[in-house]
Every structure is written in structure tokens, then in C-alpha cells.
């Protein structure tokens, strides 16, 4: 459930009519609902209530806006970060260092050191090379870095291939059949406190079975490690739970996920950790856009909106579906192609989409844009970066300014030797 609903024929975010936000801030514009973020954070936590003291780290990559992170920090969430930039954001938003987990296959030396200096709670090591590098840094600082070893369980998550991370050919984690050997080697390093196993097989998972298979493999590995004399006190089960992108679509609910996790892990005797992103933020945001004009097409009209693939990349990158609704629907429906202004055919949000009848100047939203929306924006075609707004009841605030194309240009220079 989200808080983007029609009231007297006008789409609202919580108690705020979207035309008011568009009027004050302009379009295109991401609009987030605090109540929805809080609700999702609590639903996910409640789903894990059978577990003892689970650690929940929001996947910052899904929505790194500082205000969004602060809402989740206030809900007791930690952060799963994958870069120095995300680490800085999580700390700035008020997440406690000990609640921060650092994932990612290409952490640089500087980023590993940044994590050590910040005193983060856990590094999820993705290779033995990274582990030994981290050990050397930690030794230099005279600390022991708490670590989990990320394994690649070779499980097909049955999601889009570009967001599937747990197959053997994917770059993530270490192969399961070498995991015990690598873990044992790293555990003997002074600078490391090897304390657990991490796994994340992909995103937008519509089916719990691949997760269950992967978790089963992690359970067997934990038993094997303990038999070999290693200590394992933590297991990070990643994120990945999918969300409905189409009205009426059914996906496994967090509660079903929680039950499965409780069943599969009941004998593990570890602290479980989670890294949800989309399930928390996805339906807590919309991309608000204005129709520039409706162009007559050969078979169907093109609804040309002022948002484009640079603002919301998912349809162009993954062929993803986002529901598209008028802010003030008349009840009349049509079938149209929904496109942005960018000069490539990939800048198409939907083909042959049944949607509300819209005309030039009308407002509409792409729904479920709170995760992997603004964060994946670019300035392609010299478009600026889109603004972001957070709504809370009757009030709203701009939580990210629009960055105009001119401001981006200000960071460019023509060298002297070209200026003759």
C-alpha cells in the first residue's frame, strides 16, 4: 500500500495535491512519501519478527537522498553502501557507523580505508584479494575489521539478466566451492574478524524459491566452516525482494519472505542481516511529469512528456514497466506510446499502453519510481538533474534541488591551447 491516491479526482501524495507541488517546484520531479517509506520499513521489520534481533541495512543505491536516508535512520535502519560516496551519505544522514555494511566488488584502497576510519560495522568482502588488502589496512590502523565473505551460490534468481547477481558467471562473491578455503585463510589474518557469510542473488525477485535455494547453500557452508573450526556469528542475506510495478500484480509479501527465512535459518545460530532497497523505497516515490504535446502517430498517438530516460532509466535499460497515470484523470482511456524528448528511440517509457487520455500541459506520474529512479539519472542530451521532494502529511520540502544543465557546464573548461 502507498500514499499516492486520488482525492476528489486529483492525485495526492499523502495530503498534498500533486498539481501544487508541480506548480511550486516544476517538472519533471520525483515525489516521495514519508508515510509510505515508514510503512514499508515497519512492514519489513515486522516480517522478520520471528528472528532474534535482525540487522536491517537499507540499500542506499536504491535511493540515496539524504532526507530519505534520515527517515530510515529514524526507523532504526542501518545502511548497505557500495562506494565512498554512499558511505559519506549514510553517515551524513545520521546512520550509525556500526550499522553500516560495505558491499561491492570494486572497493578501492581509499574506500576500504575510509570504511576503517569511519568504524563501520561490517565489510562484505567479495574476493580473497580484497580481503588481504583490507587486512593490511586494518593492521596498519591497529584494528580488526569485522567481515563477511560474500559467496556466489550459482543460483538463477529468475529476474532480468542485468540485475541477476548470483550465477557463477556473474562478477559477485567467491565461488561456493572455494569459500571455506578462502574464509579459513582470511580468518587467520590479524586485521580481520571473519564473522559471517553474505549472499545476494539479484533484484526484483518475483519468486522466493531461488532465495531459499541460495540460503540453503549458505546454511550448508556455515556448518562446514564450523566443522573446520571457524567461527560464524553472522549471515547477511542481502536484498532482492520484488515489488509490484503493475496495479494488481501479486508478488511474495515481506511476511512470506520472513516466514521462509525463519524456517530455512532456524538452526543457524547467527545474527541475520538484510539489505532491502526496492521493497522499502520503490512504491514510496513517483516521477511527476508534464505532457509537452501529443503527437499524432501512424497507428497510435505519441504522448511526449517532459521526463526522459535520463531521469528514469529503468524502461530504457531493462525494458521495465512503470504504471503511467494522469494526475487528474477524466475517466476516458486511450492507447498510446509514452515517450520522452531525448533523441533516441530507447527514450520510450511504454508502447501501446492503455492509459488515461492526456493533452498538452496535463500532469501525469510514473509510479513505483522511488527506487532506482533519481539515483540512476544522468544529464544526457544536456538535460539537468531532476529535483526531488519529500511529502509528509500536509507539508512538503524540496530535498534535492534541480541541477540545471548550466551548472553542469560550469564544471567544464576549454583549455587555453584551444582558444586561439
Q: Site for ligand LLP (CB under 6 A): which residue of 80, 189, 323, 347?
A: 80
Does 340 participate in binding ligand LLP (rule CB under 6 A)? no
Q: Please tell me the distance from the alpha carbon of residue 99 to that of residue 90, in angstroms, as a whole number.
A: 10
Cross-strand pairs, 273: 55, 236
Name the E strands within 237-308.
271-274, 285-295, 302-305
Closest CA to 217 of 135, 130, 155: 155
Q: Is-catalytic flag, 343? A: yes
Rounded (5°) CA angle 208-212-217: 155
Residues numbered 257-296 forming contacts with ligand LLP, rule: CB under 6 A: 275-279
* Residue of 153, 238, 258, 315 interacting with ligand LLP (CB under 6 A): 238
Taking the CA atoms of residue 188, residue 193, residue 199 and residue 200 in that order, the dihedral angle to the nearest 10 degrees is -130
| Secondary structure (3-state) at 44 | helix
Q: Does 130 bind ligand LLP (CB under 6 A)?
A: no
Q: Which is nearer to ligand LLP, 33 or 103 (CB)?
A: 103
Check residue 390 for interaction with ligand LLP (CB under 6 A): no
**Which residues 6+ apart lie within 8 Å of 147 measured at CB?**
122, 123, 124, 125, 131, 134, 186, 192, 193, 194, 195, 196
Q: Which of 83, 164, 204, 348 binds ligand LLP (CB under 6 A)?
A: 204
| Sole binder of ligand LLP in the list 366, 372, 385, 396 (CB under 6 A) | 372
Residue 59 interacting with ligand LLP (CB under 6 A): yes
Q: Restricting to residues 153-182, name those near ligand LLP by CB under 6 A.
A: 163, 165
Is 240 an interacting residue with respect to ligand LLP (CB under 6 A)? yes
State residue 80 phi and psi, 5-degree precision: -105, 115
Q: CA-CA distance, 385 to 406, in Å (whole number)?
A: 11
CB of 388 to ligand LLP, least distance (A): 17
Q: Min. distance of Cβ 367 from ligand LLP in angstroms?
A: 14
The strand pairing partners of 324, in sequence order, are 366
CA separation for the pair 118, 98 (Å, rounded): 9
Nearer to ligand LLP, 33 or 165 (CB): 165
Stretch that binds ligand LLP, among 27-35, 128-136, 188-196, 198-206 (CB under 6 A): 198-206
Task: Examine residue 234 and tell whether it contacts ligand LLP (CB under 6 A).
Answer: no
| Least distance CB 376 / ligand LLP (angstroms) | 6
Residues in touch with ligand LLP (CB under 6 A): 59, 62, 80, 103, 163, 165, 200, 203-204, 238-241, 275-279, 314, 318, 371-372
Amino acid at each position: 500500500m502507498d500514499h499516492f491516491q486520488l482525492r476528489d479526482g486529483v492525485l495526492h501524495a499523502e495530503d498534498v495535491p500533486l498539481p501544487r507541488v508541480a506548480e511550486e517546484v516544476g517538472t519533471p520531479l520525483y515525489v516521495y512519501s514519508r508515510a509510505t517509506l515508514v510503512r514499508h520499513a515497519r512492514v519489513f521489520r515486522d516480517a522478520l519478527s520471528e528472528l532474534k534481533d535482525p540487522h536491517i541495512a537499507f540499500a542506499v543505491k536504491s535511493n540515496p537522498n539524504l532526507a530519505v536516508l534520515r527517515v530510515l535512520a529514524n526507523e532504526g535502519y542501518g545502511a548497505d553502501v557500495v562506494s565512498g560516496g554512499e558511505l559519506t551519505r549514510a553517515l551524513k544522514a545520521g546512520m550509525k557507523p556500526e550499522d553500516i555494511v560495505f558491499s561491492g566488488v570494486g572497493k578501492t584502497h581509499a574506500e576500504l580505508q575510509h570504511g576503517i576510519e569511519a568504524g563501520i560495522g561490517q565489510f562484505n568482502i567479495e574476493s580473497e584479494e580484497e580481503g588481504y588488502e583490507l587486512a593490511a589496512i586494518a593492521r596498519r590502523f591497529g584494528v580488526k575489521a569485522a567481515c563477511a565473505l560474500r559467496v556466489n551460490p550459482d543460483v538463477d534468481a529468475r529476474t532480468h539478466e542485468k540485475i541477476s547477481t548470483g550465477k557463477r558467471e556473474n562478477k559477485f562473491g567467491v565461488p561456493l566451492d572455494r569459500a571455506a578455503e578462502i574464509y579459513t585463510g582470511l580468518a587467520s589474518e590479524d586485521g580481520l574478524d571473519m564473522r559471517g557469510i553474505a549472499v545476494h542473488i539479484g533484484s526484483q525477485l518475483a519468486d522466493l524459491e531461488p532465495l531459499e535455494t541460495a540460503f540453503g547453500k549458505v546454511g550448508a557452508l556455515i556448518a562446514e566452516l564450523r566443522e573446520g573450526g571457524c567461527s560464524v556469528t553472522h549471515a547477511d542475506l542481502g536484498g532482492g525482494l520484488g515489488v509490484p510495478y503493475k496495479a494488481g500484480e501479486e508478488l511474495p509479501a515481506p511476511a512470506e519472505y520472513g516466514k521462509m527465512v525463519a524456517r530455512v535459518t532456524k538452526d543457524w545460530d547467527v545474527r541475520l542481516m538484510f539489505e532491502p532497497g526496492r521493497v522499502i523505497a520503490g512504491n514510496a516515490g513517483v516521477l511527476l511529469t508534464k505532457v509537452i504535446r501529443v503527437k499524432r502517430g501512424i497507428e497510435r498517438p505519441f504522448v511526449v512528456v517532459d521526463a526522459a530516460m535520463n531521469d528514469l532509466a529503468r524502461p530504457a535499460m531493462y525494458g521495465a514497466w512503470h504504471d503511467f497515470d494522469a494526475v487528474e484523470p477524466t475517466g476516458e482511456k486511450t492507447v498510446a506510446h509514452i515517450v520522452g524528448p531525448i533523441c533516441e528511440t530507447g527514450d520510450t517509457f511504454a508502447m501501446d499502453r492503455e492509459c488515461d487520455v492526456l493533452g498538452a500541459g496535463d500532469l501525469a506520474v510514473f509510479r513505483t519510481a522511488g527506487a532506482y529512479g533519481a539515483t540512476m539519472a544522468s544529464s544526457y542530451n544536456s538535460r539537468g538533474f531532476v529535483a526531488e521532494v519529500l511529502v509528509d502529511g500536509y507539508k512538503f520540502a524540496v530535498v534535492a534541488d534541480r541541477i540545471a544543465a548550466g551548472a553542469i557546464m560550469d564544471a567544464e573548461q576549454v583549455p587555453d591551447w584551444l582558444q586561439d
